[in-house]
Amino acid sequence: MGFCRYIESSTLVQAHPQPERAIETRSFTMKGGPVWQVLSCVVLFLISITWPATPAAGVTMRADLTHVDRDRGFTRSELVTRMLSRSRARAASSLYRRCPSFHGHPATAAAAPATSGQAGTEYLIHLAIGSPRPQQVALELDTGSDLIWTQCASCIICFDQPSPRFNPSASTTIRTVPCSDPICAKSIDSLCTIRDHTCFYLDSYVDGTITVGSVVRDTFTFKGTTTSGDVVVPGLSFGCGFYNKGLFGNDSGIAGFGHGSRSLPSQLKVGKFSHCFTSMLDPESKSSPVFLGTPDDLTAHATGKIKSTPMRRNPAIPANNYYYVSLEGITVGDKRLPVSPSAFAINNKDGSGGTIIDSGTAITTFPTAVYELLYKEFVAQVPLPVVANSSEAGGLPLCFAVASAADADKVRVPRLVFHLEGADMDLPTENYMALIDGNQLCLMLNGLEGDLTTFIGNFQQQNMHIVYDLDNSKLFFVPAQCDKL
């Protein structure tokens, strides 16, 4: 049963039923300690209210994605270092998901020192909120959480962002959310003010990042597809953050794409969403598209066959927002690694393990035992000397020495195949090998000691149209020219 948590406070957010009145934030205190500490809970009666938040039937929305490190002047080696650090941190955060007393999310993860000052996920989604003049926001796209939130202009504690913060007073369509609204009542991260029963949220992440703010509803504007104009959707709920502390880059908040009811796909009631990541290490690469709804034509600009595999939930952790798939094995060259499918499966007792297809992990990360087999097989099959210390190549565990980029192009690299349930993901070479600093050819895979979870990262998903079919619990994928979609 859903619930909200009450606090003894002065009014946090002034309720404004009239459209011309703006959201107002006020200081407040909490009995028993700071707002981010664990709160006592009481059960509320759930009273339904209706706020249309569904676009016209059949309409597909589009948004642009940009990589968090795009146009920031990093060398290829620095880009890989940052991607690897974020990937290790995000994978390490999966250790926390099995602790019943921990309610943080892994979008920004527990982490390595190298992640200091970095965003927690890999791609930013660009959309607009409010009316009559929609305000642009850039949010971290995260398939591992469900809350949508952005910093607001009236924030008390804020992190730096390159664009103006969202200004609630400039929107005539913004509304506060009462605690009886299911979007508030069903979330363990939502709380309630005593005076006017309006909803606010408190969300924490495992690296100590915290966001607190008002839960509001407003109009979102998305691009249409090539056959339609902009799509305007009223009444979507999101967090208007006024206390925001953590590691962020070019973004203003997070857009949850996970299973939860607060996520963007869930609120839009779309049966599918998809993304197609352009090349990550190409400085000339265009932005990547994300589609909310059924793509116009999945075969458009496809360069291979459409395949599918079942998506699964974690039965031991129902609140887990990640999308799981069944990985059954791995082939390097012509040799299938001697690994049982159970090495990639979810432990139904404690929720550990499993294989996650993830937008927020850059480099695919395996349990240590699996990665060691991959390492040995690539060493055996690649006819190049191994670099003794590859720390200068982004910290990747396995790199091979080459004389030049031209020589690297001549190397016969063994194929890499992920055997998913019912479908093989046969990766192109550029999705798992990368030339770093002109003289090291590196395997873009990683191992993590202490956890049994496998994360299929977005470097391995480059130039592949990935469709999350939520209605049928299937993942479709097809090689594609993402920069032409």
Q: 276 in a domain, yes or no?
A: no
Residues 193 and 311 reside in one and the same domain: no
Residues 238 and 370 reside in one and the same domain: no
Q: Write down the H helix ranges in 2-102.
A: 76-93
Query: Which pLDDT belongs to residue 41?
Result: 31
- Could you say which of 142, 146, 181, 251 is catalytic? 142
Residues 140 and 252 reside in one and the same domain: yes
Does the annotation count 142 as an active-site position? yes
Q: 289 in a domain, yes or no?
A: no
Residues 305 and 264 reside in one and the same domain: no
Tokens of residue 309, six digits: 């595999």
Residues 147 and 263 reside in one and the same domain: yes
**Domains in the chain, number:** 2
Among 296, 326, 278, CA closest to 481: 278
Domain end residue (candidates: 232, 252, 269): 269
- Strand ranges inside 343-481, DSSP E: 355-357, 365-367, 399-401, 416-420, 423-427, 433-436, 440-443, 446-448, 454-456, 464-469, 474-479
SS3 62: strand
Query: Which pLDDT belongs to residue 433?
Result: 97
Tokens of residue 371, six digits: 């990665």
For every residue of 161-227, DSSP letters joined together read -SSPPB-GGG-SS-EE-BTTSHHHHT-TTEEEETTT-BEEEEEEBTTS-EEEEEEEEEEEEEB--TT
Query: Which pLDDT belongs to residue 207?
Result: 57
Say how far apart CA 356 and CA 94 lie, in whole Å. Answer: 11
Say how far apart CA 40 and CA 54 lie, in whole Å. Answer: 34
Q: 30 in a domain, yes or no?
A: no
Q: 10 in a domain, yes or no?
A: no
Among 107, 55, 444, 56, CA closest to 279: 444
Residues 341 and 443 reside in one and the same domain: yes
Residues 334 and 404 reside in one and the same domain: yes
Cis preceding linkage at 132, omega within 30: yes
Q: 380 in a domain, yes or no?
A: yes
Report DSSP state, residue 55.
P
Query: Which pLDDT belongs to residue 34?
Result: 40
Residue 389's CATH number:
2.40.70.10
- Could you say which of 69, 181, 358, 451 is catalytic? 358
Residues 326 and 426 reside in one and the same domain: yes
Q: 447 in a domain, yes or no?
A: yes
Q: Which helix (H) or strand (E) holds 53?
A: none
Residues 304 and 265 reside in one and the same domain: no
Residues 411 and 468 reside in one and the same domain: yes
Residues 315 and 240 reside in one and the same domain: no
Q: 314 in a domain, yes or no?
A: yes
Tokens of residue 480, six digits: 């594609």
Q: 353 in a domain, yes or no?
A: yes
Question: Could you list the residue range(s) of the whole structural domain that residue 207 is in?
Answer: 121-269
Per-block mean pLDDT, blocks of 10 residues, the chain (485 long): 33 34 38 35 28 57 92 90 88 54 39 42 93 96 92 92 95 96 85 86 76 96 79 96 83 92 95 96 90 87 97 91 96 98 95 93 95 98 89 80 92 97 98 94 92 93 97 97 94
Query: Which pLDDT belongs to residue 393?
Result: 61
Residues 145 and 257 reside in one and the same domain: yes
Does the annotation count 230 as an active-site position? no
